[in-house]
Amino acid sequence: MKATKYIVFLSVLLVIFGSGLSCGKKTTTTTPDNGTTLVENTDTGATNSLVIWGVFDSSDTWQPIIKSFNKQKGYTDTKITYVMKDYADYESMLIDAIASDNGPDIFYVSNSWIGKHKAKMVPAKDTIISVDDYQKKFFPAAYEDFVLDKNIYAFPLYSDSLALFYNSRMFNKASIVEAPATWDDVIKDAEILTHPIVNYDKKGRVTSTVTQQADAGIAMGLTSNISRSQDIVLALMLQTGTIMNSEDKRTFTFNQFQKQSGTEEIKHPGASALDFYTAFANGNENNKWSSDFPSNIEAFANSKVAMMIGYSYMIPQIKKINPDISLKVAPFPQITGAPSNITLANYWGWAVSRNSKNQGLAWSFMKFVSDPANITQYLTATKKPSPLISISGGSDKVFETQKEYAKTFYKGNGEAFDKIIIDMIDSVTKYGESSQSALDTAVSRGNDMLKKYY
């Protein structure tokens, strides 16, 4: 009798133990009706659920896409919970949650975060997407930002880049027929917009006077009242041909001398860009922007300044202040005669937590979202530019065109680097330091920061 009970007990243990061994070991794939291959979760101990942390996007934005995913074969019982976090403390909350093993499976990540947070992320496997296919699928900046050492750390949710916003009503009254395409045009138009226009007849008599249209031409030159001022300076550096990083990305080089192609001339392109930006303030009578103005977004919305540089996400902020503003979008101005167009990319994407017990499921859901039919739902709801090369999003066509030539570079820690660049600009505008000296200090600080990520 005892022997029989012992055998039964052993049989139960084997069943339980055997089930444990098989849990998460099996790899299965499904091919839904849309043709996307989805990889089932294969992680030991995983559950059939996902938690996603995001910023900016509400849960309502994601529910239709989550419902579509749940209709796919093999995912009808998958529970996906989206949690919107406050941007102000999102990063610190995320770090604490992942450190305590209580974080999300998928989390939003800035395009400048990979260096700082890659240890918290698990790269995509080839069953999700290859590096070559990733490069063909997403706009160029995403490959530069989210692929490091041939590992794919994130999928972009959208694209965005710096563009020129202008008040078309002011331009029309000043008889400016089109938006400025070059920085030379910006300077010329800023002067026209901020000075009265006097018309004369053939005998030199005044026939009419058109009053100035704006208190300032374009919001540029400072940091205190310019949103993302650091990005404008960085975009100008890229336009002047400044080499931002060493090839191994271990040092910043934007303070260095550079020999100009085809000549013996040596220039300081980084210093030239910084000089150009700061010249728009500091008492420039032809532009008139100063620290007395409110933020560029508020000033532009209230028709105090005729032009500003911004990202697509700033448009709703402007229209919330003034729904009736005659806002038009034009491409980011270029240097006259430049061989190619350049602007700066800034966007967010999705990454999978290294601590997630549902890594396969998480990447499978992200791949589903990046399918053109599904990402279109998101782009239509948010009115953001598309991250895919093959389709357009729900934003102004200017941003869709610019995603093809929006540039980026490795920053290590985006927030720390932003502070370094802002301090660099302030050194020139507030304390009268030379641009080259300010650049040297910024590079030294930046290189000390980069040492933490190698």
The tens digit of pLDDT for each residue in 369-421 reads 999 999 999 999 999 999 999 999 988 999 999 999 999 999 999 999 999 99
In this structure, which amino acid lies at residue 449?
Answer: M
CATH topology of domain 27-160+346-407: D-Maltodextrin-Binding Protein; domain 2 (3.40.190)
Q: Same CATH fold, 163-344+411-453 and 27-160+346-407? A: yes
pLDDT digits (tens, 9 = 90+) for 336-371: 999 999 999 999 999 999 999 999 999 999 999 999
Show the 3-state SS of 367-423.
HHHCCHHHHHHHHHHHCCCCCECCCCCCCCHHHHHHCCCEECCCCCCHHHHHHHHHH
In the predicted model, what is the mean pLDDT of the chain? 89
* CATH code of the region 163-344+411-453: 3.40.190.10
**Amino acid 33: pLDDT:** 43
Cβ contact 189:178 at 8 Å: no
List phi, psi (to 5°) of 136: -75, -25
Does the pLDDT of residue 17 top 90, yes or no? no
Nearest Cα residue to 214 out of 195, 188, 186, 187:
195
The predicted model scores a pTM of 0.87
3-state SS class at 175? coil
**Amino acid 32: pLDDT:** 44
**Amino acid 125: pLDDT:** 95
Beta pairing class for 49-54 and 106-110? parallel
CA distances from 235 to 115, 140, 346 (A): 20, 16, 11
Does the pLDDT of residue 119 top 80, yes or no? yes
DSSP letter for 78, please. -
Please report where in the chains the tokens 């009053």 appear, as a residue.
211
Nearest Cα residue to 311 out of 235, 223, 420:
235
32-36, 62-66, 218-222, 351-355 — which is least confidently predicted? Answer: 32-36
Cβ contact 373:388 at 8 Å: no
CA diameter of the chain? 126
- Which residues make Cβ contacts (< 8 Å) with residue 172, sequence separation at least 6? none
Cα Rg of the chain (Å, integer): 27
- Which residues make Cβ contacts (< 8 Å) with residue 139, sequence separation at least 6? 156, 159, 345, 386, 387, 388, 389, 403, 404, 406
Nearest Cα residue to 402 out of 164, 160, 44, 97:
160
Does the pLDDT of residue 10 top 70, yes or no? no
Domain boundaries, the chain: 27-160+346-407, 163-344+411-453
What share of the chain has pLDDT > 90, as a percent? 79
**Amino acid 196: pLDDT:** 79
In this structure, which amino acid lies at residue 3?
Answer: A
pLDDT digits (tens, 9 = 90+) for 220-270: 999 999 999 999 999 999 999 999 999 999 999 999 987 666 655 558 899
